[in-house]
């Protein structure tokens, strides 16, 4: 579809789709494609990453459909499912326009120190997309911290998988505005720049 075919009223996100421009063309991307990008999906990571990009699409498409061309994404969650879903929509990882910042001693695994937060800049403005506090129950974080330790049981592993399936279903059934806090500021992030909200004494930089 040519960019000229984009008319007022086109939806940047609906159902399981997200739309984005790239070099003058409009791409229509489905969640099934994100699942294929991350074989043997981690369910929750892929779902929350894709939904966060749907939220970014709506936030950055006020004047015209958002575009991949100048996007730069900062994430507080370095999980592979999240990364692959974000990259499927934005194509930022391979272009060196994806920056991950995580809590010290996070060990790059799912735990309570990871942040479900994204900053998506299009060269003109920046959308801060943050999962609503309380969306993920405390029990999930406690369980994720315990996994991989000597205290881990088979029941823990099973419960963790069930948690992820349930969270995935929940984030798809809830409207974006109920799942995320979304704020747009009229300033872009420069490539490599971190948002002011990030406490650099608490986070480690993780080049991706």
The secondary structure of 141-193 as a DSSP string is HHHHHHTTSTT--HHHHHHHHHHHHHHHHHHHHS-HHHHEEEEEESSPPPTT-
State how many domains the chain has: 1
Give the pLDDT confidence of 58-88 residue by residue, as tens digits.
Answer: 999 988 999 999 999 999 988 888 999 999 9
- 205 forms beta bridges with 101
Structural domain range at position 152: 3-207
Max Cα separation, the chain? 59
42: confidence class by pLDDT, cuts 50, 70, 90: low
Q: Which of these, 53, 148, 50, lies nearest to 108 by C-alpha position?
A: 148
50: helix, strand or coil: helix
Q: Are 154 and 121 in contact (CB under 8 A)?
A: no
Give the pLDDT confidence of 184-201 residue by residue, as tens digits.
Answer: 999 999 999 999 888 654
- Whether 5 shows a pLDDT value over 50: the answer reads no
Dihedral pair phi/psi, residue 142, rounded to 5° = -60, -40
- Whether 8 shows a pLDDT value over 80: the answer reads no
Q: CA quadruple 139, 140, 146, 151: dihedral positive or negative?
A: positive
Give the pLDDT confidence of 83-134 residue by residue, as tens digits.
Answer: 999 999 999 999 999 998 876 666 656 677 788 999 999 999 999 999 999 9
CATH for 151: 3.30.1330.130
- Average pLDDT of every residue of the chain: 86
Mean pLDDT of 25-51: 85
- 184 forms beta bridges with 127
pLDDT of residue 207: 45
pLDDT of residue 62: 87
Q: For residues 171 and 52, what is the distance between their CA atoms, to the nearest angstrom?
A: 10
Q: For residues 20 and 111, what is the distance between their CA atoms, to the nearest angstrom?
A: 31
């Amino acid at each position: 579809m040519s960019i000229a075919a984009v008319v007022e009223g086109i939806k940047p996100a609906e159902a399981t789709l997200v739309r984005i421009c790239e070099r003058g063309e409009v791409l229509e991307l489905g969640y099934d494609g994100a699942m294929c990008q991350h074989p043997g999906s981690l369910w929750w990571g892929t779902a929350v990453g894709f939904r966060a990009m749907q939220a970014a699409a709506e936030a950055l498409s006020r004047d015209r459909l958002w575009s991949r061309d100048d996007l730069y994404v900062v994430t507080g969650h370095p999980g592979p499912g999240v990364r692959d879903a974000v990259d499927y929509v934005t194509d930022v990882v391979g272009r060196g326009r994806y920056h991950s910042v995580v809590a010290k001693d996070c060990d790059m695994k799912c735990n309570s120190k990871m942040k479900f937060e994204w900053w998506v800049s299009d060269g003109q403005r920046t959308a801060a997309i943050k999962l609503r506090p309380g969306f993920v129950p405390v029990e999930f974080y406690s369980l994720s911290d315990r996994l991989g330790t000597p205290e881990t049981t088979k029941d823990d592993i099973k419960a963790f998988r069930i948690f992820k399936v349930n969270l995935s279903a929940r984030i798809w059934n809830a409207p974006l505005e109920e799942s995320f806090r979304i704020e747009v500021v009229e300033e872009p992030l420069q490539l490599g720049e971190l948002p002011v909200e990030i406490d650099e004494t608490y986070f480690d930089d993780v080049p991706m």
